[in-house]
Structure 1
Amino acid sequence: MVVAGAMAILEGIAALAKDDLFAVTRHYVFEFSLTGWGWVHLIVGIALVLSGCAVFTGALWARFLGVAIASLGVIANFLWLPYYPWWAIILIAINLFVVWALCAGMQREADASMTV
């Protein structure tokens, strides 16, 4: 989660800097300014890093928060696909892996507590 958050923060900073790296799409349904997308990714990235650090504590609420924030990261990057497709696909995959890992960890802990 911390790595996905750091990547999202870099994505947000690059969008805020109005880099020529991003493609300009026309007539896109979810069209925001590049600055708006930069803020979205920066906020989601900071939330991912903070919730990733909270997951290290082992608290159950941190796992639920991590699943919610990583899911928001998947949605934000799906909407970001026309601007920078490869980076968005990589972040979607990482965030989906984070959601899976957090949910699988919850299931293993529930199974272990039932056998005791």
Structure 2
Amino acid sequence: MASVQQRGSGWVTFAGIMVAIVGVLNVIYGIAAIDKASFFVEEQRFIISNLQTWGWVTLILGVIQLFAAASIWRGGIFGPIVGIFGASLSAIAALLSIPGYPFWSLAIFAVDVLIIYGLVAHGGEQAA
């Protein structure tokens, strides 16, 4: 007899994939900010005025998100908790960077909200 797919497992899979993608992007952006790449807008005022500090925060957040994605895929309880925490921090960071990149920031914020929904609504079912 075929196993019945758990309700909401698509949301958990979506959340795991998106946490991994956002984690990789945060690692790349963190490295770019630490290296003072010309990708970032120089004239804009960010909440953190030192671009290298912002880069280290983003890099660490990206690494945490990658660990969370791995744990979500393994089905552990650590993954959804850290995934929600990482997506929440990423959503806050996206809102703080609206002056520099408004459309990109709002898109990242929307993805973070979907990640949080998927993990809050269905993340515990997978771990149980």
Taking structure 2 as the reference length, what is the TM-score of the superposition? 0.72
CA distance in 2, matches of 1:96, 1:4: 12
Distance of 1:84 and 1:9 partners within structure 2: 18
Counterpart check, 1:19 vs 2:32: no
- 1:54 deviates by 0.8
Cα pair 2:22 2:65 within 8 Å, conserved = yes
CA distance in 1 between partners of 2:82 and 2:48 (Å): 28
> In the alignment, which residue of structure 1 is the partner of 2:26?
8
Root-mean-square deviation (Å) = 2.1
Of 79, 83, 93, the match for 1:62: 79
Structure 1: gaps (5+ residues):
none
Say whether the 8 Å CA contact 1:22–1:84 is kept in structure 2.
no
TM-score (ref. length: structure 1): 0.79
Relative distance call for 1:83 and 1:17 in structure 2 (3 A) is: farther
Name the amino acid aligned to 1:67: I
Farther-moved stretch of structure 1 (40-49 vs 89-98): 89-98
Q: How many residues align?
A: 108
